[in-house]
A and B are shown apart, each in its own frame.
Chain A
Amino acid sequence: MKVNVKIKRFNPEADKRPYWAEYSLEVRETDRVLDVINQIKWEMDGSLSYRRSCAHGICGSDAMLINGVNRLACKILVRDLGEVINIEPIRGLPVLKDLIVDMEPFFDSYKAVLPFFINEDPEPPTERYQSAEDREIFDASTKCILCACCTTSCPVFWTNGRYIGPAAIVNAHRFIFDSRDQGADERLQILNQSNGLWRCRTAYNCTEACPRDIPITKAIEEVKRELLWRRA
């Protein structure tokens, strides 16, 4: 099938502002958007820049704003989009070139919530036991691939880039509700700051955008309640 692809391009060395480049090409309807932009780059315009790595929805490199919604280019098929495909870089992060954004502010927020296991007790001779029920509480939050689809779909993040964002809160959730972890108080204190958790206005764009189907808003609300009840 023939598709018309519009890509918002920007080369900081040549362009004053971003512009829409149009490409018309023949693709299969079972192609993914990543295949389409690969075809553009390899056969039509080698200067097109974007990130991709595993191409199977696990590395989280190719998050893009495709037809108005944040998705992974490697997880959306042409037949689900139709003949017109508009691709923009994800919003709220500085564009470096074409579809590549500076992810550092995003990773800084992630690092800020101490996304690692904290337990000062001496290591037990066997495992640190956790029941299946206790594991289930934060199961969804372990699935995050840090693609930034959620954080860059958030209207609050677009207007306030210092908001810690849904991805960081989900990764905090993963440890706050881990029965073996002891860092919950410290993480909740970090999330309680002015650009933390409470900036969430429950617009649900994060939940809709997540390519891993994590119920993000649910996780954020659970952290909000945890913080509230612990302080009460």
Chain B
Amino acid sequence: MYRGREGQWAFLLHRISGVALALYLLLHVIDISLVMYGPDGPFNAFLGFYHQWPFRIGLVAVMAGVVYHAFNGLRIIIMDFTGWGVKYQAVMWYGVLALTAIVGVPVLVKVIPEIIGRA
């Protein structure tokens, strides 16, 4: 592994979260579209399938991915459109991680008990 610094990890996480979200969105669109086959169609079966444990935990990962990708996207916009952004890219990345964690707190407090509670 190349021993890059903040910028490399910011890029790698941005790419991983981006690809993961694109795949999630595709899956999401497919299973929501199944509702057009009516109440007796495959929609409810799929929804039941998604209530299994791995998908519940995956939902937390999806939220983390969305929040990180959004904040890091703002970091990239600042770097691309201002003259000073590049200079503070590392600091801004730590800010992105901190904001992601802060936004993650209500997710942990509110969502995880629901995920675990209604097994």
Q: Does A221 contact B (CB under 8 A)?
A: yes
- CB pair A153–B2 under 8 Å, yes or no, is yes
Query: Which stretch (B3-11, B19-27, B41-49, B104-112) binds chain A?
Result: B3-11
Q: Does A218 contact B (CB under 8 A)?
A: yes
Q: Does A115 contact B (CB under 8 A)?
A: no
Q: Does B37 contact A (CB under 8 A)?
A: no
- CB pair A221–B86 under 8 Å, yes or no, is yes
A204–B7 alpha-carbon span in the complex (Å) = 5
Knowing A202-B76, A204-B89, A225-B81, say if A217 contacts B7 (CB, 8 Å): yes
Q: Does A18 contact B (CB under 8 A)?
A: no
A68–B89 alpha-carbon span in the complex (Å) = 22
Shortest B21–chain A CB gap in Å is 16
Q: Which of B1, B5, B15, B81 contacts A204 (CB 8 A)?
A: B5
Chain B, Cβ-Cβ closest to A70? B2
* Contact sample, A vs B, 25 pairs, CB 8 Å cutoff: A65-B2, A68-B2, A69-B2, A153-B4, A155-B2, A155-B4, A155-B8, A201-B11, A201-B14, A201-B15, A202-B7, A202-B11, A202-B79, A202-B80, A202-B86, A202-B89, A204-B4, A204-B8, A204-B11, A205-B2, A205-B5, A205-B8, A208-B7, A217-B86, A222-B83
B residues sitting closer than 8 Å to A (CB atoms) are 1-8, 10-12, 14-15, 76, 79-81, 83, 85-87, 89
